[in-house]
Structure 1
Amino acid sequence: MTKQIVFSEEANPPLPVYSQAVISGKTIYVSGSIGITRDMQLVEGGVQAQTRAALDNMTKVLKGAGVGLESVLKANVYLTNLQRDFAPMNEVYLEYFKANPPARTCIGVAALPLGAEVEIECIAELP
Structure 2
Amino acid sequence: MSESKGIGLKQIVFTSEAIPPLPVFSQAVISQGHIYASGSIGVTREMKLVDGGVQPQTRAALENLATVLKAAGSGLEYIVKANIYLSNMSRDFQAMNAIYITFFKKDRMPARTCVGVAALPLGADVEIECIAEIPE
**TM-score per shorter chain, which class?**
over 0.9
CA distance in 2 between counterparts of 1:80 and 1:102 reads 22
Q: CA deviation at 1:98?
A: 2.7
Q: What is the number of equivalent residue pairs in this alignment?
A: 127
Distance 2:78 2:105 in 1: 13
Letter in 1 for 2:122: L
Q: Which contiguous aligned blocks of 4+ residues in structure 1 show a shift greater than 3 angstroms?
A: none
Higher strand share: 2
Residue 18 (structure 1) aligned with residue 18 (structure 2): no
TM-score, normalised relative to structure 1:
0.98
Counterpart position of 2:4: none
Q: CA deviation at 1:22?
A: 0.1
Which amino acid counterpart does residue 23 of structure 1 have in structure 2? I
The aligned amino acid for 1:3 is K
Structure 1 unaligned runs (5+)? none
Consecutive unaligned residues in structure 2, runs of 5 or more: 1-7
Which residue in 2 is equivalent to 1:105?
113
TM-score (normalizing by structure 2): 0.91
The whole-number CA distance in structure 1 between the counterparts of 2:78 and 2:133 is: 5
RMSD between superposed Cα atoms in Å:
0.8
CA distance in 2, matches of 1:98, 1:24: 26
